[in-house]
């Protein structure tokens, strides 16, 4: 198993871990963190491919993902904060009535 394959396997594992977390964990903050894991799994694969192909574009895209992730978290955390203020709980299922 060469290095690229290993790195891609790691990236897939990170993504799968994150996805599993989002699906099974109830805590909103943990769900957000798991989403970050997924993003970083993708980032890892991007860097790997960029390295393998010798193209800078993949690496540049990673920065874009960082920026988007930061912005997303900057919005998401305050939203979670506001929700918690209302119901005093981080349990995602407690907010199921948001479906309208």
Footprint on this chain of other proteins (rule: CB under 8 A): 19, 22-24, 26, 31, 92-93, 95-99
Count of residues making up the chain: 100
Minimum Å gap between C-beta 3 and other proteins is: 25
Q: End-to-end alpha-carbon separation of the chain, Å? A: 51
* Cα–Cα distance measured from residue 76 to residue 69, given in angstroms and rounded to the nearest whole number: 10
Least distance (Å) between residue 31 CB and other proteins: 7
For residues 3 and 26, which CB has a smaller minimum distance to other proteins in the complex? Answer: 26
SS3 call for 91: strand
In the bound state with other proteins, the residue whose beta carbon lies nearer, of 59 and 92, is 92
- The nearest distance, CB 19 to other proteins, in angstroms, is 6
State which residue, 59 or 72, has the beta carbon closest to other proteins.
72
CB distance 18 to 34 below 8 Å: yes
CB of 22 to other proteins, least distance (A): 5
Q: How many CB atoms lie within 10 A of CB 53?
A: 10
């Amino acid at each position: 198993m060469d290095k690229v394959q290993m790195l891609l396997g790691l990236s897939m594992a990170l993504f799968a871990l994150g996805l599993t977390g989002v699906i099974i964990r109830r805590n909103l903050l943990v769900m957000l963190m798991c989403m970050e894991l997924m993003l970083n799994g993708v980032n890892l694969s991007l860097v790997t491919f960029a390295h393998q192909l010798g193209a800078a574009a993949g690496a540049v895209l990673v920065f874009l993902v960082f920026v988007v992730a930061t912005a997303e978290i900057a919005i998401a955390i305050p939203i979670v904060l506001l929700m918690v203020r209302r119901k005093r709980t981080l349990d995602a299922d407690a907010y199921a009535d948001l479906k309208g």
